[in-house]
Structure 1
């Protein structure tokens, strides 16, 4: 179902064009499809909420802006260049995770060669972690944006780039950027600027329309493998703001499922409980079902039951290891016993559970890796993934590997290889990259994909 309110494309010349980059959309789509647990159930194909916020910020300032998702919209590089020629944007902004950044840089080069007058920038976690290095490596970018972009978007057309805080240009020494302190001031994501029919969803929601929703930004945890692009100080939206956005999404876009995309959704149990009780009070639990990601140490049996009543059907947990010492080294702050208890509580509440164990974290051995594989089998949840540890820019783990701590060694800085499943870019003196791949294969063989338990989906309209 596509909402009649959706109108992704503007008439005439653009002020701003935002792009999700792809050099080969067919191959990138195959990669996304390969992540599905069941080929009939979509996964990791959601409209990007960060772009939605940027488009809303542009709309608020009466700027003409569009988003081209080269994967979802099946757009070739040549087609993109022709469209840029037609729309003549003043600024082009690309957003990229580390694994996408070379594609983004390549596309920026092609745009700059053909349209040298257009200002081209890059945003996202890679640019935030390595602003100067990114500009040195990719000459097609005129600037990078560090941190959040909503307050920066309006300034890009009317200010000198080097004078905008959070915008980094070549030779600029001040790399600091501000965080947005009042998230309620932000306009709701502009889903009307997407072709939502192209996005089947992030999680196995089983409805006509899933949308992402964020209730906070920032993460106070200390996991060594995470860059925390929004910083450690967690900033929350008010319940009224969240509920207002949710009700708008239902009314305007036919939303029937929500993926709460916070880094740890239930980090504050009191705050979360108040929100879930409001879902029930307003009858929203009869209109939508929802999923989230959280930690095993930020929930209780009572909270899981409340979540289920409030419409929760699916939770993804980051377990990361089946060994207590490994969990401590990774900065997780909980132990194996807590993992087992929390999964038991969630199952008792009839919530579908999924999770991940990272292979190759600092201190990993054959024995600890096999503990993770065995624990995954014991937990017996719907879906378990086994990514190989990636030393992403901005993480403690990357700094450890650069110093050779825990015997870690970075094998390549070819960003194309910085996906979480294959080929792996870091090994240690206890586990070679070849052995890590073998253990990953053993883990998936020992923990095969399962059918989705549709009987546990929360019922709508009842």
Structure 2
């Protein structure tokens, strides 16, 4: 059986600027299919400059038996549009959708969208191989772990699949992708990688720890080093974003990757998302990290008080946040901090406090994200149960749109104050001048981008465009 994997055209969050990154999830799926001698094609529409109008021709040309795609919540409508298109072309095509969104909404998904035949729940690499073999031999789908499907009008859910051994997986099928096309607004030639899966924590606003399961699993440093060498030498990528949910969860993991970069003499600048408490605990690694190319670190600040952090089950303190940012400045590592606006207890006063707090932290680049109850998160179940979500259009679940009010603020009020966060920080003349004149060229590049973004948003707000989204 032939499998066609498609990452459909998507609109990138405007804050990211001109950005195009490889679809790692589908690249891993393609790699395991190839290893099992299953014919596969991979189409990345954004990377290959393929529009919705182009897709019918390409699907017909491929003539697949199975069409697969994946989607996070704000991209789900694109997945639905894709499988609907495939069924119109050939109703016999088996459509398979995976990813975090359908993992947690499989029942509603299968009941509401008949064009989706099978949902893959959780990690898909082992599941897709078993599924293809099952369909090829016309065996009973109930023997395939980790899926859900319709069966005589009912939804059948098979046994959960255990977390995959990340060191058993092949490297992503980069040869099927236009690697030369991947870029980021303020970076040189760019790509992404995963060095671990999962997270050892359970923040209430996050669904990723539920999707990847327990425990946190790290790849061998040698495997990461091999992939880094391929990405930087073969594909000429100069910048790599480690997209792990918690890259810095283990001392030896970080140290091993840094040593691989040194041993292989790789010239790469790299970035990651991690936790403030681990950054402090493993502070003796910061010189090595900086030496081997760690130019920026993103931490989840999330709240401006310890009470707020506790309500999010963050298990970190504001004091630790301050120490972590101080350490990054000491080693000239650009700091990016994400803080959530619009939590249920937020008021105008608490939002002003968050703005002041981010200024006091001296984070180089704060990212103000809108509180979004993603399916699979603890807050989603609570918000759904209490009928707090006013907008169930999943296109709007992108952390830049207001889908629910707070206890004391309407959505339109919240939107105005969300915009104020960006204006207050990114229109500050001293902040702008300091950033644009920084000795750190990476920081200068980001500030140029953020200044343009902030100016555009200020004009949009002034003209009154957009009611609930920046």
The equivalent of 1:272 in structure 2 is: 254
Given candidates 65, 81, 100, the residue that maps to 1:90 is 65
Q: Which has the higher contact order (CA 8 A, sep 6+)?
A: 1
| 1: CA distance, partners of 2:52 / 2:241 | 31
1:143 to 2:143 alignment: no
Q: Is the 8 A contact 2:249 2:274 kept in 1?
A: yes
The equivalent of 1:414 in structure 2 is: 393
The structural deviation recorded for 1:438 is 1.4
The structural deviation recorded for 1:426 is 1.4
Deviations 1:229-275 (A, max 9, x none): 20131011112222222223233222322211110111112432243
The equivalent of 1:75 in structure 2 is: 50
1:261 to 2:243 alignment: yes
The equivalent of 1:313 in structure 2 is: 295
The equivalent of 2:409 in structure 1 is: 431
| 2: CA distance, partners of 1:269 / 1:372 | 31
- What does 1:169-248 align with in structure 2 at a 5 Å threshold? 169-170=149-150, 171-201=154-184, 204-206=186-188, 209-228=189-208, 229-248=211-230
Structure 1 outlier segments of 4+, above 6 Å: none
Q: Is the 8 A contact 2:42 2:176 kept in 1?
A: yes
| 2: CA distance, partners of 1:157 / 1:398 | 33
The equivalent of 1:120 in structure 2 is: 95
The equivalent of 2:462 in structure 1 is: none
Structure 1 pair 306/456, CA: closer, same or farther in 2 (3 Å)?
A: farther
Q: Is the 8 A contact 1:377 1:446 kept in 2?
A: no
1:441 to 2:429 alignment: no
The structural deviation recorded for 1:205 is 3.3
- What does 1:285-304 align with in structure 2 at a 5 Å threshold? 287-300=267-280, 301-304=283-286
Q: Is the 8 A contact 1:260 1:292 kept in 2?
A: yes
Q: Is the 8 A contact 1:350 1:456 kept in 2?
A: no
The structural deviation recorded for 1:125 is 0.5
| 2: CA distance, partners of 1:164 / 1:172 | 15
Higher helix share: 2
Q: Is the 8 A contact 1:329 1:363 kept in 2?
A: no
The equivalent of 1:4 in structure 2 is: none
Partner SS, residue 128 of structure 1 = helix
1:361 to 2:343 alignment: yes
| 2: CA distance, partners of 1:280 / 1:199 | 25
The equivalent of 1:21 in structure 2 is: 8
Structure 1 pair 176/225, CA: closer, same or farther in 2 (3 Å)?
A: farther
RMSD: 2.2
Partner SS, residue 47 of structure 2 = coil
- What does 1:321-336 align with in structure 2 at a 5 Å threshold? 321-336=303-318
The structural deviation recorded for 1:281 is 4.0
Structure 1 pair 176/372, CA: closer, same or farther in 2 (3 Å)?
A: farther
Partner SS, residue 97 of structure 2 = strand
Query: Which stretch has the larger CA shift, 80-89 or 241-250?
Result: 241-250
The equivalent of 2:456 in structure 1 is: none
Equivalenced residue count is 424
The equivalent of 2:376 in structure 1 is: 394
Q: Is the 8 A contact 1:94 1:104 kept in 2?
A: yes
Q: Is the 8 A contact 2:149 2:157 kept in 1?
A: no
1:106 to 2:81 alignment: yes
The structural deviation recorded for 1:162 is 4.1
The equivalent of 2:33 in structure 1 is: 58
| 2: CA distance, partners of 1:306 / 1:431 | 46
Structure 1 pair 381/63, CA: closer, same or farther in 2 (3 Å)?
A: same
The equivalent of 2:104 in structure 1 is: 129
The equivalent of 1:164 in structure 2 is: 144
The equivalent of 1:252 in structure 2 is: 234
The structural deviation recorded for 1:175 is 4.4
| 1: CA distance, partners of 2:149 / 2:50 | 29
Partner SS, residue 376 of structure 2 = coil
Query: Which stretch has the larger CA shift, 324-333 or 411-420?
Result: 411-420
The TM-score with structure 1 as length reference comes to 0.86
Partner SS, residue 440 of structure 2 = helix
Gaps of 5+ in 1: 1-13
Deviations 1:266-322 (A, max 9, x none): 1112432243234334433xx211111111111124232221012101111111111
Deviations 1:372-427 (A, max 9, x none): 111122233332221211111110001121233xxx811122112211112x1111
Structure 1 pair 82/362, CA: closer, same or farther in 2 (3 Å)?
A: same
